[in-house]
Amino acid sequence: MKVTLCTALALLLASGTTMAQTSPYAGQEARPIKALSDDELTGLAQGRGAGFAKAAELNGYPGPMHVIELSDALALTPGQRGASEALMHGHKARARELGARLIDAERALDRLFAEREADAARVDAATRRVGELHAALRGEHLKTHLEQTTLLSPRQIERYQALRGYAAGSMPAPAHVHRH
């Protein structure tokens, strides 16, 4: 027997069965902090970039992690490498601290709802705190790219972009920030 889509739909409707739409959030209700995946929690705790510095990275402002990874290809001087490593070390410490604070703020927001204590004023305060910490963390990542850029020559920045696979015509960061 050949069943067409229309016939199958008619049979489904006649039986009283409906097609439920599963939420893309299904399964996430078991998360300790509903708004953050395990990967996001780990990334925040470890101070990972998570795309926070894309505006810098994709506009010709290299980040220290990749500069260090590409140190031989970029022909970094010992001074540049040492300064990049020091920058990375300080940045990671600040990013981990801000990430931990952001996780705590997200946990507090989640708890408002889990404990049925959410009201407009508390939600405003909690989301403001999350937003402030998110902005501070993103700023930390972006400013680190600014600082890294000052440690490189325009030629190294251009080489970095090529090695990272960015468009051949993309503009390197302004040369006036160079100070190595």
Note whether 95 and 140 are within 8 A (CB): yes
CATH 3.90.950.20 assigned to domain 42-166? The reply is no
pLDDT per position as a tens digit, 61-119: 999 999 999 999 999 999 999 999 999 999 999 999 999 999 999 999 999 999 999 99
List the domain boundaries for the chain.
42-166
pLDDT per position as a tens digit, 153-180: 999 999 999 999 997 655 555 554 555 5
Q: Could you give the C-alpha distances from 170 to 49, 53, 61, 166, in angstroms and in order?
A: 22, 17, 11, 7
